[in-house]
Structures are given as structure tokens and as C-alpha cells.
Amino acid sequence: MALPPVIVWFRQDLRLRDHPALTAALERGGAVIPVFILDDAGEGRWPAGGATRWWLHHSLAALDTSLRARGSQLVLARGDSATVLRDLLAATGANAIHWNRRYEPAAVARDQTLKAALTADGIEARSFNAALLFEPHTIANRQGGPFQVFTPFWRHCLTQEFPAPVALPAGPFPAPARRPASLDLAEFGLLPRLGWADGFGAAWTPGEDGARARLKTFLAHAADAYGAQRDLPATDGTSQLSPHLHFGEIGPRQIWAAARALARDTGVFPSSAGVQKFLGEIGWREFAHHLLWHFPATPESPLRADFARFRWADDADGTRLRAWQRGLTGYPIVDAGMRQLWRTGWMHNRVRMVAASFLVKHLRLSWTHGAAWFWDTLVDADLASNTLGWQWSAGCGADAAPYFRIFAPVLQGERFDPAGDYVRRWVPELATLPARWIHQPWAAPADVLARAGVRLGETYPRPVVDHATARAEALAAFKALRA
DNA sequence: TTTTGAGTTGTTCGA
DNA sequence: GTCGAACAACTCAAA
């Protein structure tokens, strides 16, 4: 009598290496049935946005290819997760389900209910940690509560131990006697009907192999210089691992192990200040997930409750929001970022901060508008990171920027894109403007504009708000909140 | 137990 | 041109 098969429920862990749920299933010795369920309703208010759906399509294809190379294949299903899993149990004779945990409020609630119900019915439901260095409930301050400031959080984390990544299971994977039916990937309808994602494929390689290649390239070429280069949007100074991390094509423990391996040559860990800074970013991702787990209302509500009564600007017809979304604010660094986002599904981190500050401070539109737009357009849209980032920018979250920190778009452009290469690339109508004026075309002499073929208000917009005025109004509005 | 110092990413103003 | 101060308020942890 063969052992009953085990269902391995893939979610945001689309890899085979360092996959504790899969490894534990294989160790039982029976067949494994890998399944992915598209369950939008189960995501609560945050079903995957357009750009992440594009990524998910390709990542699922890559995972299926990897599984087929091991004699297995990914079962695709759509609908209520619990119902699908119950049907699969019945159809395959499986008596156990394994999954790696998620930390978004809707997923946590769903998984807890499901686990209790399955256990009550005698089905073994086991969950594992593949997404984080530490389980959120194991990291607490002296008072026993969650850290709300990054530095003490991370300092504390660095004193704690976490397991090494789980090795790639040896193949082939035992297949079940009865293979359940699967949808075709195309039936998920994850790819956009319109062509807005046409440029994504040139920029990204979704899937575990793509993630590993990206990490390898980054550690070999960019990590040591990360500290300085990461702030320059015209260069490839960042790791660009965020979408791979979101879908769990690679996990933080693997990244940690790879950085440690790199340090073997020097005998020092981390091997350089750049690597240390990069690992700190892994720490921020960790911080974001822990905060979301502790404060599940934060995707919609400010962590600092007094912000709920902040008076945002009136934008009833959506003019301001649309100008920001389309990259037509008249501030080149902001517009370049918003257009890079639209074209590639990604925006450089430095420019995200500038664009976010501009929306919240200069346009005084709620951070929730920005969070919603990023959620739909970023290939790395992640509820934990998106929430932390926007609340940080607005000054209403954990360890948030002080209200008077208002990024000056011209200054930021001149400081971090001094030659204007980034602006030229994404705002082609300014491409031939000299660097002296490229971050403030409205101030350029008429003959300079004419030679560059720029007609303000026609080929490129005038600034939607005046910086000095908007800054003063934002300072007053945010200060009033304090009173 | 209480006090104290420090804390991702900035800008402007005035000396 | 450079530099320090001011722009709050609160959490956390070390002393």
C-alpha cells in the first residue's frame, strides 16, 4: 500500500530551493501534488494588481517547468482556496496539506480558519516559514511588544539565530497515482489584454532561475558599491530583487547565506559596507512584514491614529492625481519615475521616495491613493512593503519621516541624476535639454528651450504646483495636525 | 526605576 | 560657498 500523497500549496513561495513545505512533504516518502490556487476573493481588499498578475503568470510558468523537469507538474485551480483544497483531497486521496506562511491580514485569517477546519477533520495541515528570517511573534522589545523603530528592531534581530536555507530536494519527485485535473495557465487570464506590459519582458526574468541570476550578478558586481550607487536612478546600483522576493522565487535566508558565502574570501561578514547596507534593506523588508502582522489595519489606516483627521487637498475631479499617475506634473524627476513605473512595472527606490513625497506633500493627496496606484502598477507590489513605504513617506507610519521632510524635486534631481540621464531616458521630450536646466525646464531661457524643441505647456507641462508655495502649504497643514 | 541619547533616505535659512 | 541650526514628537534601549 503506497503512502498517501501530500498536497503542497504554493502561494508566494514560487521556488523549489529553500522551500520547507515542499521538503517536508518529500521527506514523508509519498507522492507530492504541487498546487497553485488563484483566489482573488481570499485576498480581501488586496487582490493582485495588474503588474503583479503579469509577473505571476510568468513565474507560474517557470515553476511548472522546474517541476516537470523533476517528473512533477503544477496543478492550477481557481476559486475559494478551502473549497479547491477539499476537492483535491477527495480527488487524490491525500491526507495532508503543506504550505509556507503568509503575513497579510486576509491570508493570515484564511489560513488560520482553514488549518483549524482541516485539523478537526483529521487532515494534517502543516505550515512553515519560507518568507522571513524570523516569525514576527518571536521578535519583541523589552516590554514584550512589537518594535516600531527600525534600528532597535534590526539590532535585536542581528543578535538572534535563524536556520540556514533548506537545500534543493533531489529529484525526481514521486508523482501521485491519480493526477488531478488542472487548468491551463492561460485560463487564469493574468496577462493584460492591452499591451501595456509589452516592455516588461525585456526588463525582467520572473522565476527562480531569474532570481538566482539576479542575486549572483548583484553580489558579484554591485554589492560593494551599493552604498553610493543605489541612490543613482540612472545606474543599475540596486539589486532589483524586490519582485523575486515578493513571489518567493528567492527567500531572505538564501540571500543571507549567499552574502555570507561571499564573505568567506575576506573572512569578514558582511564583507563590505555595501553588503551590510544591502542586508539592512532585507531588514526593512523583514520590519515591514512584522509590522503588517502586528498592525493588520495599516494597509488602509494610518498607524498614527491622529493622521486620520488630516485635511487632504480637494481634488474632486482627479486632476492632480491623474497628472501624478501619468507623469505629467512638470517636475522631470517625478515624471521620469512615474513613467518608468508605467513602462517597466518598477521604479528606482530613490525616485519612489521623491514621487511619494510629491504626491503627499506637494499635491497633498492621501498616501492611500499612492499606495493603490503602486499596488496596481508595480511588479514588486507587496502589501507589507507598500504599506510601510507609503506610511513612512506620509509621516503617519512606523519610524516615519518627520512632517517637515519634504523632498525638493529639483534638488533631488540635481543631486542624484546630475547629468539628467535618467530624465532623458524616461521623459524623451526633454532629451536634448542641457543638464543645467533638465530638472527645471520652466526656468530655462527661451532660446535654450527653443533649441531643445521644448514648448512648455505643449510638449511638456508647466509645474502643476509651485514648489515653494506647495512646500509652505504642506508645512502649515502638517503642522496643524500636531496642534 | 528613571534618565538620557539616538534614531534610513531632507530642506532652508542665516551666519 | 560652507556649515550648523531649526524644523516635533515619540519609541526604544542603554546607562
Query: Do A231 and A266 share a structural domain?
Result: yes
Instruction: Identify the DSSP state of A171.
Output: S
The distance (Å) linking the CA of A468 with the C1' of B15 is 23
**Residue A319 grid cell:** 486632476
By C1' distance from the Cα of A277, the closest nucleotide is: B8
Q: What pLDDT was estimated at residue A257? A: 96
**CATH code at position A123:** 3.40.50.620
Pick the last residue of a domain from A116, A131, A146: A131
Same-domain check for residues A344 and A439:
yes
Instruction: Classify residue A349: in a domain, yes or no.
Output: yes
A190 located within any domain: no
Residue A407 CA, nucleotide C2 C1', distance (Å): 21
pLDDT at A483: 63
Longest dimension (CA), chain A: 86
8 Å CB contact between A324 and A331: no
Catalytic residue list of A: 281, 284, 312, 349, 367, 390
Residues A97 and A137 in one domain: no
Give the bases of strand C that a protein CB approaches within 7 Å.
7-9, 11-14
User: Which CATH number characterizes residue A334's domain?
Assistant: 1.10.579.10
pTM: 0.97
Residue A250 and residue A330 in one domain: no
Query: Is the CB atom of residue A470 positioned under 7 angstroms from any atom of strand B?
Result: no
For residues A421 and A413, the answer to whether their CB atoms sit within 8 Å is no
Whether residues A78 and A149 fall in one domain: no
Domain that holds residue A417: 305-482
Q: Specify if A120 maps to a domain.
A: yes
Straight-line distance from CA A150 to C1' B4, in Å? Answer: 19
Question: Which backbone phi and psi does A124 adopt, to 5 degrees?
Answer: -80, 115
A342 and A429 assigned to the same domain: yes
- Asked if the structure places residue A180 within a domain, the reply is no
Tell me, yes or no, whether A184 lies in a domain: no
Residues pairing with A98 in the sheet: A8, A126
Q: Is A144 exposed, middle or buried (0-12, 13-18, 19+ CB in 10 A)?
A: exposed
> What pLDDT is stored for residue A311 in this prediction?
86
* Dihedral of alpha carbons A214, A215, A219, A220, sign: negative
CATH of the domain at A235: 1.25.40.80
> Going residue by residue through chain A (483 aa), what tens digit of pLDDT does each one get?
689 999 999 999 999 999 999 999 999 999 999 999 999 999 999 999 999 999 999 999 999 999 999 999 999 999 999 999 999 999 999 999 999 999 999 999 999 999 999 999 999 999 999 999 999 999 998 888 899 989 889 999 998 999 999 999 998 999 998 889 999 999 999 999 888 898 899 999 999 999 999 999 999 999 999 988 999 999 999 999 999 999 999 999 999 999 999 888 888 888 888 999 999 999 999 999 999 999 999 999 999 888 888 889 989 999 999 999 999 999 999 999 999 999 999 999 999 999 999 999 999 999 999 999 999 999 999 999 999 999 999 989 888 878 888 999 999 999 999 999 999 999 999 999 999 999 999 999 999 999 999 999 999 999 999 999 999 999 888 888 876
Q: According to the model, what pLDDT value does residue A171 have? A: 82
pLDDT of residue A1: 61
Let me know if A4 is exposed, middle or buried by CB neighbors in 10 A (0-12, 13-18, 19+): middle
Query: What pLDDT score was predicted for residue A144?
Result: 85
Q: Is A215 domain-assigned?
A: yes
Same-domain check for residues A372 and A467: yes
Which residues in window 386-405 of A are less than 7 A from strand B by Cβ? 389, 392, 399, 401, 404-405
- Count of domains forming chain A: 3
Q: Which of residues 217-236 of A touch strand B (CB under 7 A)?
A: 231
In the 148-187 segment of chain A, residues within 7 Å (Cβ) of strand B are: 149-151
| Separation of alpha carbons A262 and A322, rounded Å | 45
User: What amino acid is encoded at A308 in this protein?
Assistant: A
**Model pLDDT, residue A37:** 98
Residues A313, A250 within the same domain: no
Q: Please indicate, yes or no, whether residues A139 and A271 belong to a single structural domain of this protein.
A: yes
| Distance, CA of A404 to C1' of C5, in Å | 14
Nucleotide with smallest C1' distance to residue A156 CA: C13
- Asked if the structure places residue A196 within a domain, the reply is no
* Pair (A146, A61) in one structural domain: no
pLDDT for residue A2: 80
What residue has its CA nearest to the C1' of C12? Answer: A152
Residue A316 within any structural domain of the chain: yes
A93 and A147, same domain (yes or no): no
Same domain, A239 and A352: no
The residue among A273, A294, A315 that closes a domain is A294
